[in-house]
């Protein structure tokens, strides 16, 4: 059958305007092609019979559009949307614009200005280029460059979480004619982006990775010695949704006898693997587009070659069934004779919907877009997904647990992925979507070939003391299926001890930061538990060892002074209570946490207080307080003036400690030499 004309009034420079334009398939019958018409409006045409017939063109955006690119929701892993996103540069409105076609109802909406542009220099790929993609996390990303009427060049990169609010981000461009194709990154952060960057000045293709959280780009070379061609699309890629890898194809030379159509398998900067060339040393060859059969991972690469690039070429393709390791024989997609073909687009097929590998191509002489349904390859919708059940989690600790699932029905073929998704919120059954689109924030997958039977996955990095909601899931070529949701409570984390006090005489106060989800705490003193408490963050340890007093020994002067007896104390001390080591443990309904760190604390002894006492007679008995004698050293002017001796002691007190009494000492006042001699004689004469 002859080639089918999709549109006869295409822009005369479609190859300079278009980047990616479909067909975007929503079933084996329904597909959409997006192009610029002869008035440079962006329009689409729809087939409902697999490409044999095409409905009338419908306008997506009216304006003098200098370049456009498209990305369908189903080109992003796990995305369940039905929109085809379009980014364009409009010379009429002097704007960078966004709009979408929702294939669920064929509604064109969402028109929004990304940024202003100013008057443009002239139409052509060297002067303007734009690329759009959608991340696995849902952000829309647009990179573009343009030359204004003053020949100044402008380079920008924007992202939006809702295709309505656009934020300028760090710029990946480098120089004038560089080329960029955007793809969703297969990084840990599902908002990260890959840009395949063709550096004209360096003749190099590289992978630039956008770190969304850090707003920065990093770069890793893919291949050097890649001669840049500014007027035609010489590279194309597609994301293999089964593993998130980007398959990239590019020509190393333009229209040269040594031209190779090269292929790489890319899974980030650390995983760039060259695959077998589609063509090697292929003269009069150029253009490239690609489609991946997402149900089998087969890769189709379309290109043009023939008698003369720019006037007489034909569209061909090759297929790889092993990820680009080998390529089958060349097959003509174009049935009609060689002609001036200048642009090819293969579009995208969603695994669940099916579709076709049916490239479209632009004929510059006729200014038409064609396809061929006879040579197209139907990609059937898959069979049934598997059936999975979820069992209760076990081996639950503070941050880890074991998730349990069971594949009870494979759906007709072994599963290639199984795992557990989990989150801190409950979600309904995700349905037939990838874990990234399930609503659950975390995925613990396992890849291999799996039949019927139970399986487990180790869940790590769980939040402590929190309720975890999880589901088992499995995947085969028909898609994903999830078991019922179960939940469990992780143990609390060990509390963070703030401290044990050293400033109170009657207790040690232990304080800590609470652990999330804990319902009780227990303090340990020197390793011994002191009993479980409720949901508190402090504990008064009144049982800590009390402070003590070392009473010392009293000293009283012996006839040194006539006016008083000098009292002093030696060896006395106020001693803090025993220093104890404290730690804290938390618990909830699941169990106990580990131990907190430790801190030491003790009961603080108060300042020493003194009360001197004197015996009533010259004997160690019948003591009474000396009024006002409350200092460590004291002069007792109340001692007998006749030099008669008295016994002295000091009563010591301190907050927190038991009262203590010093050792005693005898002392007396000096009564003078004469008085002393008289007293001696009287004693000798037994007069006294």
SS (H, E, C) 39-52: CCCEEEEEECCCCC
Q: What is the pLDDT of residues 204-253, one digit of tens each?
A: 999 999 999 999 999 999 999 999 998 899 999 999 999 999 999 999 99
The whole domain housing 570 covers 496-587+596-667
Backbone angles phi, psi at 16, to 5 degrees: -90, -20
Q: What is the pLDDT of residues 173-208, one digit of tens each?
A: 997 789 999 999 999 999 999 999 999 999 999 999
Query: Is residue 680 a part of any domain in this protein?
Result: no
Q: What is the pLDDT of residues 399-445, one digit of tens each?
A: 999 999 999 999 878 999 999 999 999 999 999 999 999 999 999 99
Q: Is the predicted pLDDT of residue 677 greater than 60, yes or no?
A: no
> Angle at CA 399, nearest 5°, toward 398 and 402?
100
470 lies in the same domain as 541: no
Query: Residue 318 contacts by C-beta under 8 Å, 6 or more apart in sequence?
Result: 278, 279, 300, 301, 327, 328, 329, 330, 331
474 lies in the same domain as 580: no
Domain end point (choices 362, 379, 396)? 379
Q: How many domains does the chain have?
A: 3
440 lies in the same domain as 574: no
Strand-pairing partners, residue 184, are: 193
**Chain-wide mean pLDDT for the chain?**
94
462 lies in the same domain as 349: no
Q: How many CB atoms lie within 10 A of CB 468?
A: 20
The model carries a pTM of: 0.59
Query: Residue 180 contacts by C-beta under 8 Å, 6 or more apart in sequence?
Result: 129, 131, 143, 172, 173, 195, 196, 197, 198
Q: Is the predicted pLDDT of residue 679 greater than 90, yes or no?
A: no
From residue 203, alpha-carbon distances to 48, 225, 227, 252, 274 in Å are 43, 5, 5, 9, 17
**With b meaning 16 or more CB within 10 Å and e meaning fewer, what string describes 147-170?**
beeeeeebbbbbbbeebeebeebe
Query: Is residue 676 a part of any domain in this protein?
Result: no
394 lies in the same domain as 362: no
Confidence at residue 687, expressed as pLDDT on a 0 to 100 scale: 40
Q: Is the predicted pLDDT of residue 675 greater than 50, yes or no?
A: no
Backbone angles phi, psi at 289, to 5 degrees: -150, 165
Q: How many CB atoms lie within 10 A of CB 536?
A: 11
Q: Where are the beta strands (DSSP E) in 1-53?
A: 4-7, 24-25, 31-36, 42-47
258 lies in the same domain as 278: yes
> Angle at CA 420, nearest 5°, toward 419 and 424?
160
Higher per-residue confidence, 478 vs 87: 87
Tell me if 370 sits within 8 A of 8, measured CB to CB.
Answer: no
Extract the tokens encoding 311.
């006037």
Residue found under tokens 């995700």: 430
- Provide the 8-state DSSP code for 663: B
56 lies in the same domain as 32: yes
Query: Is residue 579 a part of any domain in this protein?
Result: yes
User: Average pLDDT for residues 447-454, to the nearest whole number?
Assistant: 97
Q: What is the pLDDT of residues 555-614, one digit of tens each?
A: 999 999 999 999 999 999 999 999 999 999 999 999 999 999 999 999 999 999 999 999
d(CA 184, CA 442): 18
- pLDDT over 70, % of the chain: 97
Query: Residue 404 contacts by C-beta under 8 Å, 6 or more apart in sequence?
Result: 390, 391, 392, 393, 394, 454, 455, 456, 472
Q: Is the predicted pLDDT of residue 672 greater than 90, yes or no?
A: no
Tell me if 574 sits within 8 A of 606, measured CB to CB.
Answer: yes
Query: Is residue 688 a part of any domain in this protein?
Result: no
Confidence at residue 678, expressed as pLDDT on a 0 to 100 scale: 45
Choose among 591, 588, 593, 630: nearest CA to 613.
630
57 lies in the same domain as 143: yes
451 lies in the same domain as 520: no
Output helix, strand, coil percentages for the chain, rounded to the nearest 5.
Answer: 5, 50, 50
Q: What is the pLDDT of residues 127-164, one digit of tens each?
A: 889 999 999 999 999 999 999 888 899 999 999 999 99
Residue found under tokens 């011994």: 528
471 lies in the same domain as 535: no
Query: Is residue 149 a part of any domain in this protein?
Result: yes
Domain harbouring 333, CATH code: 2.120.10.70
| Maximum Cα–Cα distance across the chain | 160
Confidence at residue 673, expressed as pLDDT on a 0 to 100 scale: 59
Counting every residue written for the chain, the total comes to 688
Strand-pairing partners, residue 399, are: none
Tell me if 593 sits within 8 A of 493, measured CB to CB.
Answer: yes
Domain end point (choices 327, 349, 379)? 379
Q: How many CB atoms lie within 10 A of CB 328?
A: 12
From residue 636, alpha-carbon distances to 158, 356, 614, 629, 662 in Å are 92, 115, 9, 8, 17
Query: Is residue 683 a part of any domain in this protein?
Result: no
Q: Does 23 sit behind a cis peptide bond, omega within 30 degrees of 0 on the bond before it?
A: yes
Residue found under tokens 């009870």: 408
User: Average pLDDT for residues 107-120, to the nearest whole number?
Assistant: 92
Residue found under tokens 């343009």: 146
503 lies in the same domain as 414: no
Tell me if 659 sits within 8 A of 680, measured CB to CB.
Answer: no
431 lies in the same domain as 538: no
Query: Is residue 681 a part of any domain in this protein?
Result: no
Q: Is the predicted pLDDT of residue 57 greater than 80, yes or no?
A: yes
Domain harbouring 431, CATH code: 2.60.40.10
Query: Is residue 685 a part of any domain in this protein?
Result: no
d(CA 577, CA 596): 23
User: Average pLDDT for residues 482-504, to the nearest whole number?
Assistant: 96
């Amino acid at each position: 059958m002859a080639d089918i004309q999709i549109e006869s009034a295409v822009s005369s420079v479609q190859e300079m305007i278009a980047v990616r334009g479909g067909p975007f398939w929503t079933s084996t019958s329904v597909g959409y092609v997006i192009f610029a018409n002869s008035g440079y409006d962006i329009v689409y045409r729809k087939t409902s019979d697999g490409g044999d017939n095409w409905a009338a063109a419908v306008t997506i955006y009216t304006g003098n559009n200098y370049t456009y690119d498209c990305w369908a929701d189903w080109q992003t892993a796990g995305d369940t949307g039905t929109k085809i996103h379009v980014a364009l540069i409009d010379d009429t409105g002097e704007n960078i614009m966004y709009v979408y076609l929702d294939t669920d109802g064929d509604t064109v909406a969402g028109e929004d200005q990304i940024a202003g542009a100013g008057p443009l220099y002239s139409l052509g790929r060297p002067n303007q280029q734009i690329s759009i993609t959608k991340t696995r996390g849902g952000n829309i990303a647009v990179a573009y460059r343009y030359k204004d009427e003053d020949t100044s060049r402008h380079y920008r990169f924007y992202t939006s979480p809702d295709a309505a609010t656009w934020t300028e981000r760090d710029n990946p461009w480098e120089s004038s004619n560089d080329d960029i194709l955007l793809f969703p990154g297969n990084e840990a952060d599902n908002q990260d982006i890959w840009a395949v960057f063709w550096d004209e000045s360096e003749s190099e293709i590289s992978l630039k990775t956008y770190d969304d959280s850090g707003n920065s780009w990093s770069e890793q070379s893919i291949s050097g010695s890649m001669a840049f061609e500014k007027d035609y699309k010489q590279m194309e890629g597609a994301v293999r949704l089964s593993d998130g890898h980007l398959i990239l194809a590019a020509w190393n030379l333009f229209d040269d006898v040594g031209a190779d159509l090269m292929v790489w398998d890319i899974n980030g900067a650390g995983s760039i693997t060259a695959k077998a060339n589609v063509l090697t040393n292929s003269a009069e060859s150029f253009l490239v587009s690609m489609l991946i059969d997402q149900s089998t991972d087969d890769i189709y690469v379309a290109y043009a070659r023939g008698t003369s690039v720019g006037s007489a070429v034909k569209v061909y393709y090759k297929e790889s069934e092993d990820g680009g390791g080998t390529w089958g024989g060349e097959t003509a997609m174009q049935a009609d004779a060689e002609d001036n073909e200048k642009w090819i687009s293969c579009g995208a097929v969603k695994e669940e919907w099916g579709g076709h590998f049916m490239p479209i191509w632009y004929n510059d002489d006729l200014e038409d877009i064609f396809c061929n349904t006879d040579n197209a390859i139907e990609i059937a919708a898959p069979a049934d997904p598997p059936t999975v059940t979820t069992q209760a989690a076990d081996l639950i600790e503070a941050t880890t647990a074991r998730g349990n699932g069971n594949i009870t029905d494979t759906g007709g073929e072994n599963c290639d992925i199984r795992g557990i998704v989990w989150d801190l919120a409950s979600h309904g059954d995700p349905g037939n979507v990838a874990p990234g689109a399930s609503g659950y924030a975390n995925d613990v997958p396992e890849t291999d070939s799996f039949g019927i039977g139970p399986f487990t996955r180790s869940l790590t990095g769980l939040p402590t003391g929190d309720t975890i909601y999880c589901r088992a899931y499995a995947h085969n070529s028909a898609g994903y299926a999830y078991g019922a949701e179960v939940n469990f409570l992780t143990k609390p984390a060990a509390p963070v001890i703030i401290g044990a006090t050293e400033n109170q005489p009657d207790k040690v106060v232990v304080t800590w930061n609470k652990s999330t989800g804990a319902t009780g705490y227990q303090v340990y003193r020197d390793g011994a538990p002191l009993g479980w408490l409720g949901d508190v963050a402090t504990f008064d340890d009144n049982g800590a060892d009390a402070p003590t007093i070392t009473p010392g020994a009293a000293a009283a002067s012996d006839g040194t002074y006539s006016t008083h007896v000098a009292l002093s104390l030696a060896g006395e001390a106020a001693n803090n209570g025993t220093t104890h080591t404290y730690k804290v443990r938390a618990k909830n309904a699941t169990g106990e946490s580990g131990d907190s760190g430790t801190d030491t604390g003790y009961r603080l002894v108060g300042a020493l207080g003194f009360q001197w006492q004197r015996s009533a007679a010259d004997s160690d008995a019948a003591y009474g307080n000396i009024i006002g004698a409350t200092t460590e050293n004291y002069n007792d002017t109340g001692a007998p003036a006749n030099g008669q001796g008295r016994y002295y002691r000091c009563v010591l007190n301190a907050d927190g400690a038991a009262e203590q009494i010093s050792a005693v000492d005898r002392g007396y006042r000096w009564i003078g030499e004469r008085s002393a001699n008289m007293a001696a004689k009287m004693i000798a004469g037994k007069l006294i």
